Amino acid sequence: GREVHLRSRPQGLPEESNFELVEVPVPTPGPGEVLVRNIYMSVDPYMRGRMREGPSYAAPWQVGEVMQGGCVGQVIQSNSPELQVGAYVLGNQGWREYFVARPDQLTPVEPGLAPIQAYLGVMGMPGMTAYVGLLDIGRPRPGETVFVSAAAGAVGSIVCQIAKIQGCRVVGSAGSDAKVAWLLNEAGVDSAFNYKTVADLSSELARRCPDGIDVYFDNVGGDHLEAALDHMNQHGRIVACGMISVYNATEPVCAPRNLFRVVGQRLTIQGFIVSDHWDRREAFLQDMSRWIQEGRVRWQETVVEGIENAPKAFIGLFQGENFGKMLVKIGPD
């Protein structure tokens, strides 16, 4: 089987030469273990942090070794009574075609409700990030204005729709006209714009949020955070989910120049990491499955074919090449 190794640590935007495709023997499951054939693997913005040396909230990948990440596959050999051959599972050993694991390291995937790859997106980590981040950290009330950046991405697109379900007025920003059209026509947001073609982010937000912003769900940081601060209402909440605009920075970046707004507007800026909130997984799965069945939550995915193209897919996240969840298909269904 093939797997992707970290060849070198990137400076700035990662390049394909930072990765290496390596052929290795298919592993043999030991007692109590199963062999999984991967079908989909996830590439996520947080992985940029794992390419860096030094402490972060996710352990760094090691140069010369295979990388890890979310994946969905099928059990093809089983030495455990808990998992039958043919079962679909969610795991954390992406970036490779085959892997061995114990059943307690895997989560069974129910193929009936949503396609299996949805467990890497709307029904998985990004969906739960949207759920916990908006509902528990942002705590929106009906009638409030919620602004979402990277609004057509895996997390952002779900945040927008959960905010609509909560009865909020939702404004989204995204990097292409096609993404803006999807937000308006499919996700049902009240207002959306292409941040790449507006003259000035802050005046655009002033126009689109006439009642100010109560909750800013920040996926981008940088210029988006500064522009949102300009228009936050008193006691507003900023959900610090991610700051993708700074992940490839080679120098420390400036804080928002208007950070003093936090004082006058009595704002709360709160960061969170989804993996601290597994106690909310059951509630998330129940609500999300219902919303999907009721047609109240929709999603998009961009599927890149072939494990050899996984580095390209990952790099594409920083160039807005994904529409919704970015996935790599590495084996037949």
Q: Least Å distance between CB 300 and ligand NDP?
A: 9
What is the rounded distance in angstroms from the CA atom of residue 160 to the CA atom of residue 172? 7
Site for ligand NDP in 304-333 (CB under 6 A): 317-318, 320, 322, 326
Q: Least Å distance between CB 102 and ligand NDP?
A: 25
Site for ligand NDP in 99-128 (CB under 6 A): 126
What is the rounded distance in angstroms from the CA atom of residue 39 to the CA atom of residue 327? 10
- Cα-flanking dihedrals φ and ψ of residue 225, to 5°? -65, -45
Site for ligand NDP in 133-152 (CB under 6 A): 150, 152
145 pairs with which residues across the strands? 169
Residue that has been written with the tokens 């126009």 in this structure: 207
Q: Which stretch binds ligand NDP (CB under 6 A): 22-30, 154-162, 206-214, 282-290?
A: 154-162
Q: Least Å distance between CB 127 and ligand NDP?
A: 10
Site for ligand NDP in 189-248 (CB under 6 A): 219-220, 241-245
Which of residues 38 and 129 has its CB atom nearest to ligand NDP in the complex? 129
Contact 68, 117 (CB under 8 A): no
**Strands of 188-324, DSSP E:** 191-194, 213-218, 232-240, 268-271, 301-305
Site for ligand NDP in 8-67 (CB under 6 A): 44-46
Which of residues 68 and 245 has its CB atom nearest to ligand NDP in the complex? 245
Q: Least Å distance between CB 175 and ligand NDP?
A: 3
What is the rounded distance in angstroms from the CA atom of residue 2 to the CA atom of residue 103? 23
Q: Which stretch binds ligand NDP (CB under 6 A): 71-79, 208-216, 256-264, 270-278?
A: 270-278
Contact 238, 216 (CB under 8 A): yes
- Cα-flanking dihedrals φ and ψ of residue 35, to 5°? -105, 130
Site for ligand NDP in 238-267 (CB under 6 A): 241-245
Q: Is the backbone of residue 123 left (phi > 0), alpha (psi -120 to 50) or beta?
A: alpha
* Of the candidate residues 140, 156, 172, 311, the single one contacting ligand NDP (CB under 6 A): 156
Q: CA of 322: how far to CAs of 174, 225, 231, 282, 288, in Å?
A: 11, 22, 29, 28, 22
- Cα-flanking dihedrals φ and ψ of residue 46, to 5°? -60, -20
Q: Strand 71-78 and strand 34-42: pairing? A: antiparallel
Contact 246, 254 (CB under 8 A): no
Contact 150, 221 (CB under 8 A): no
Which of residues 44 and 204 has its CB atom nearest to ligand NDP in the complex? 44
**Quick check: 302 binds ligand NDP (CB under 6 A)?**
no
Which of residues 224 and 231 has its CB atom nearest to ligand NDP in the complex? 224
Size of the site for ligand NDP (CB under 6 A): 30
Q: Least Å distance between CB 258 and ligand NDP?
A: 18
Element (H, E) at 130: helix 125-131
Q: Least Å distance between CB 119 and ligand NDP?
A: 14
Site for ligand NDP in 166-185 (CB under 6 A): 174-176, 179
What is the rounded distance in angstroms from the CA atom of residue 152 to the CA atom of residue 190? 14
Residues forming the site for ligand NDP (CB under 6 A): 44-46, 126, 129, 150, 152-156, 174-176, 179, 219-220, 241-245, 272-274, 317-318, 320, 322, 326
